[in-house]
Chain A
Amino acid sequence: MTRYILVRIAQAIPVLFGVTLFTFLMSHLTPGDPVLIFALGKPLSPERAEQIRHQYGLDKPLWEQYGDYMGNLLHGDLGRGLHDQRPVWDTISEAIVPTVQLTLCGLAVALALGVTLGILAAIFHNSWLDSLAMAIALIGVSTPVFYLGLLLLFAFSFQIHLFPATGISGWKTMVLPAVTIGFASSAYIARLVRSSMLEVLRQDYVTTARAKGLVQRVVVTRHALKNALIPVVTYFGIQLAGLLTGAVVTEQIFSRPGLGRVAITAINNRDFPLIQGTVLVTAVVYVLVSLVVDLSYAVIDPRIRYE
């Protein structure tokens, strides 16, 4: 097990190296000069532009800039943002806190709602409850996040003043954003749980369990659910990584700080160190999450072993 983990982590190193090279090239080769964008809307003389470019080393050859970047990175230094001269790590570590909170709460909503709906739909297969659960799932999948967010805001913030529309302090500010991002995921989870549950419920060992005289609740939660959850765990892992870095629409609507908005601003500003920093952190998150997902299979399904 330990060896497996170590190998997986070692495998991640070339991946992360590739990510740094790729983002470096992508961000530098995309049209747009950071200095001109920096000054967009304001006058800037060519001499002044040249001066700023020199100040930030942007006039050096590309490979040299990449070398500088990698050298600093190996010393644990992500550099400073071109715009604010703030250490990139400070910006990212500050933004990642509300993002993690939102992601975890959102996924909690998704799991609670999705698993419940999925189980109900599977147990009461082809009943009205099944249709209802799948209808909810269909709505969840097809409602754009920004629209759901605005609807929730309109109803619960502007009409009945139950939850604040903005802010990041206190559980009240978390409810609407968590439901907003959790709802769409819950729809996928519900469908996944339903189909794999249906499959599992037809297995011999479930019949055996029933034959032993176990009550429905125990059959479902002890015997069936655990096995039905494997595809959900995979999906959950992808969602977790995706939301950690891609909840930007939700963040925007609910005026929440977060990694997604940092990334978008950085890209628009061609703030190279910040772009590279956020992409690198994103890549690390993906690698770690997929590792955790793989490892969790062993816990859920004892047949899976890492040797």
Chain B
Amino acid sequence: MVSRTDSSRLPTDLRLDRRRLLAGAAAGLAAAASWSQLASLPAYAAVARQDVTPGGTLTYGLGFDFDGTLDPQVTNYDSTIRVMLNVCEPLIWMPTATEFKPALADKWEISPDGKTYTFSLKKGVTFHDGTPFTADAVKFTFDRVVESRNLTAQGKQVDPAKTITPGQSFNQIDAYDHAEIVDDHTIKLILSRPFAPFLSGLNGYLGIVSPTAVQKMGLADFGRAPVGTGPFIFKEWVDKDHVTIDKNPNYNWGSSFFKHSGAAYLDSMIYKIIPDDSVRTGTLTSGETQYIDTVDPLQLQDLQDNEDIAVIKQGQPGSGYILLFNVARTGMPSADKNVRQALSYAIDKDAMNKAVWGGIFEPAASPLMKPTFAYEPKTEQVYSFDLNKANQLLDEAGWTKNGDFREKDGKKLAFYWPTQDRPNDKAMATFVQGAFRAVGVDVTVDPLEQGAYVDKRKSGQYDLAFLWFSYADPDVLRTIFYSGNIGNFNYANYKDPDVDKMLLDAAAATDDATRKDLYSKIQLKTLEDAVTIPFADSITYNAKLKKVDGDFLDFLASYVWMNDAHITE
């Protein structure tokens, strides 16, 4: 498991429980117990804090700005959702890889064909504008995400003033077709095809919005002051400076997952946008902020040494930092499986983790990161760092050394790698350049400005590409390796009928064991074909003052749930 054992991120009483639990359990079992298993214990919800003093303001330092909107269905940015999920609650919460907890939905049922999801909704819930929360609002929220798609399909004009251009929300519920309202508090969401990751997509991007508010305010204004049902009410947004949200005093429908269901303990929260890493860290040490996300690796040690500060470390699900070979470049070395397999032995991932990420990530073996459902540990046995083996395989494949570099039939073993002109991307590419050079392979790294990079990638004129894709479900592999996604995120232009079929079957299957089996095969197959070299699993590092308690980092290791957050003295 990824080391998710940093106890500082657990709420205090859970930490106590954990100790008790460790004492009582068989040692081997306890050592293997992950945070996800612990969180699922009923004990967590049952423990009630008596000593919380409500009140106070928490200032949260955000590392990224928003993308011009706070509308959960329009935004493409996680930073927006980090704020807005406290304002616009989704139907369900996903605290671990396999668990879903009620949020605005009390319970739900999936039809045997995997196409109908029936939600029974909480009663007595009101939006911040005073209107009641009913099935209409759920239908409204989901419909607006697919409205522009449907209009276009019918050949109608889309008016940006009336119809949103959906952001990330669209990709998460792409399979959604329509909703049927059964009664005020029961709704059926009907999919166009069975889609197993559907529930995991119902996160903050699908936070339920007030239909009345959207209609009254208009889209542009709503995007600057959204209205939901959450424990916090939107107050103000000063562009590129901060967003303030205030406690919702009427809130009493908190998820059973949280420790208390009533109004938030904090009076208000200020999300400050602090783009500079060292400044963000500085504000935490000076107390100007009490919680920050995206800690700079260079400053991690300082924060860990600071006795007032707790570092929150958590692995992420999805696909980590991986290299992709453009396997479709006929006649080029990247299309030669023998070359790719040989190079899979050429990267010292430990050294790479230290050199590129300051050692704060974890070396990876699979295109799936370890916390992801269906991660296959056997992937760790497929390749190792072995330069002799790499050289030997390249020799056998007929690429012989001529001077520093190898060649075959007069053709040099060389790769072209356009990257984005960002420090991290360049560091990654430079490391690989050095590693490949050691076995006689020449890599040209071309750092490009964002627009030029996207164009270059679209044109297909590259041998190497890298990708990082945080996602709650192993279906992320379909995004990267499905032939239908060539021209999209299938940067490798990989097309394998068996893998295609397995990816589609796994996305449609409702049975966990079947899915697990299929994803295991896919992971091993993509490694065997050496389409990808996984570099590192990314890990989230947030930090807070120790006096902040009750905050909870979700399974994606991105969103911090603030229902129980409070400041102890």
Contacts and interface: CB of A to CB of B under 8 A. Distances in A.
Interface of A: 30-33, 36-48, 51-52, 55-56, 80-81, 83-87, 91, 94-95, 150, 153-154, 157-158, 161, 164-168, 252-258, 261-262, 265, 268, 270
Interface stretch (B8-16, B236-244, B383-391, B560-568): B236-244
Nearest to A168: B241
B451 A83 contact: no
Contacts of B278: 150
Contacts of B239: 91, 94-95, 257
Given A51-B158, A255-B274, 16 more contacts: A31-B452, A36-B454, A42-B171, A48-B149, A51-B152, A55-B165, A84-B223, A86-B68, A86-B223, A158-B286, A166-B279, A166-B283, A255-B275, A257-B239, A257-B240, A268-B450
A194 to B, nearest CB: 35
B65 A265 contact: yes
A46 B488 CA distance: 8
A164 B452 contact: no
Given A32-B454, A84-B223, A41 B282 contact: no
Contacts of B282: 153-154, 157-158, 165
A113 B563 CA distance: 50
Given A48-B149, A85-B220, A255-B241, A165 B279 contact: yes
B536 interface: no
Interface residues on B, range: 35 or more
B286 A165 contact: yes
Interface in B210-225: 219-220, 223-224
13 contacts: A32-B454, A36-B454, A44-B488, A52-B165, A80-B220, A85-B165, A85-B219, A86-B68, A95-B239, A161-B286, A165-B279, A253-B276, A255-B279
Contact of B285 (A158, A166, A265): A158
A84 B67 contact: yes
B451 A167 contact: no
A255 B238 contact: no
B451 A31 contact: yes
B272 A83 contact: no
Contacts of A85: 69, 160-161, 165, 219-220, 223
A307 to B, nearest CB: 46
A83 B239 CA distance: 14
Interface in B103-130: none
A25 to B, nearest CB: 15
Contacts of A157: 282-283, 286, 288
Interface of B: 61, 65, 67-69, 76, 148-149, 152, 158, 160-161, 165, 167-168, 171, 219-220, 223-224, 238-242, 272-276, 278-279, 282-283, 285-288, 449-452, 454-455, 458, 479, 485, 487-489
Contact of A32 (B69, B168, B455): B455
Given A83-B68, A158-B282, A166-B288, A45 B454 contact: no
Nearest to B282: A158
A153 B285 CA distance: 12
A19 to B, nearest CB: 21
A261 B240 contact: yes
Contacts of B455: 31-33, 36
Contacts of B168: 42
Q: Which of B76, B219, B449, B451 has the most CB of A within 10 A?
A: B451
B68 A81 contact: yes
B495 to A, nearest CB: 17
Contacts of B220: 80, 84-87
B402 to A, nearest CB: 36
B194 to A, nearest CB: 19
A38 B167 CA distance: 9
Contacts of A51: 148, 152, 158
Contacts of B165: 52, 55, 85
B272 A167 contact: yes
A286 to B, nearest CB: 23
B275 A37 contact: no
B270 to A, nearest CB: 10
Nearest to B159: A55
A43 B489 contact: yes
Q: What are the 10 closest A-B residue pairs judged by CB atoms, nearest first?
A: A32-B451, A84-B68, A257-B240, A158-B282, A83-B68, A31-B452, A255-B274, A31-B455, A36-B454, A158-B286
B450 A37 contact: yes
